[in-house]
Amino acid sequence: MKRNPAEHAPPADAGARRAVGPVICYPVETLPAPDLAAYRAAREAWRKTGEVLVPARDAASFTVPAGHFFRITSVEGPQVGDLNLWNANNLAERFYSGKTRALHGTHLSTGDRMWTSHPHLRPMATITDDTLDWYGFDGFGGAVHDVIGTRCDPYTHNLLSHGGQYHHCCHSNLTRALADARGLPLAEAEGYVHDVLNVFMCTGFTRSTGQYFMKASPVRPGDYLEFFAEIDLLGALSACPGGDCSSEHSSDAAACYPMLVEIFAPKAPPAGWAPPPLNGYDQSHGR
Ligand SMILES: [Zn+2]
């Protein structure tokens, strides 16, 4: 956080320096754009091929073949979900929260894509529908589906609580789900767990201190976030122990509900769609 008051006096031209206008770091207009109309047309004759009910305060895994869709739906009560995605054929290629944030902003919605880690850096999923898109940004600067948080984890909890041991943080839930999905030892699975897309979570940064905040999610049963799988995906979703994240997480105090993941196969892939190739950078790094 910024020191208040600051330790150093502002220079004479502080006002002018602060008044310089911002420039968007990554104008996304030149990125390969998804053809949303074609994606949506492909849903018309889709067929549901599977579903997973993620238990409250726990996680579950699922797979989605390239060219299929999946939907995460709120059931029973307001609940936040922490989503990890991997290339189903290579766990080293996984969701890159930081670059996705830099490209699309702090909170995702329809038309945004989830990008994979270096050196792959390609779209792994495209958001095709978001029933909470009406929420926008509220008066606190809060919005849903963030890529600014990481995932609640037992290590941070241990520090903040002076030694607490809590085993159902999203980090641990995702670790167990991946270990079970791939028959990996917990320690190996943990290394593949990464920063999440916070599905339905309502978050922002305070204007005064820039601190990460959360507030009760506006999600209600029936709301969903829908994705198109650009590559073969292995997913894991944790129903956060924070429930709707209105007060705290890393405990069993909050009301928690299950979440539904459904997989859909279109009759035919979206017109003109092809799985995205690996990133075109030659990886020579100037040598
Ligand atoms: Zn969590």
Question: pLDDT in tens for each of the 287 residues of the chain?
Answer: 999 999 999 999 999 999 999 999 998 888 888 999 999 999 999 999 999 999 999 999 999 999 999 999 999 999 999 999 999 999 999 999 999 999 999 999 999 999 999 999 999 999 999 999 999 999 999 999 999 999 999 999 999 999 999 999 999 999 999 999 999 999 999 999 999 999 999 999 999 999 999 999 999 999 999 999 999 999 999 999 999 998 877 778 889 999 999 999 999 999 999 999 999 999 999 99
Inside any domain, residue 36: no
Inside any domain, residue 32: no
Cα–ligand 1 centroid distance for 152 (angstroms): 4
* Residue-level pLDDT at 154: 96
Distance of alpha carbon 13 from the chain centroid: 40
* Residue-level pLDDT at 38: 98
| Partner residues linked to 60 by β-bridges | 237
* Residue-level pLDDT at 206: 96
Domain that holds residue 205: 50-265
Cα–ligand 1 centroid distance for 116 (angstroms): 22
Cα–ligand 1 centroid distance for 197 (angstroms): 11
Cα–ligand 1 centroid distance for 189 (angstroms): 18
Inside any domain, residue 13: no
Inside any domain, residue 30: no
CA distance linking residue 172 with residue 238, whole number of Å: 9
What burial letters (b/e) apply to 9-40, b meaning 16+ CB within 10 Å? Answer: eeeeeeeeeeeeeeeeeeeeeeeeebebeebe
Query: What is the count of structural domains for the chain?
Result: 1
The closest of 69, 127, 121 to 94, measured between CA atoms, is: 121
Cα–ligand 1 centroid distance for 173 (angstroms): 9
Other Cβ atoms closer than 10 A to 246: 15
Cα–ligand 1 centroid distance for 169 (angstroms): 5
Strand 123-130 and strand 143-146: the pairing is: unpaired
Inside any domain, residue 180: yes
Cα–ligand 1 centroid distance for 172 (angstroms): 9
* Residue-level pLDDT at 193: 98
The closest of 194, 190, 200 to 167, measured between CA atoms, is: 190
Inside any domain, residue 84: yes
Inside any domain, residue 198: yes
Instruction: Answer yes or no: are the C-beta atoms of 226 and 217 closer than 8 Å.
Output: no
Cα–ligand 1 centroid distance for 46 (angstroms): 32
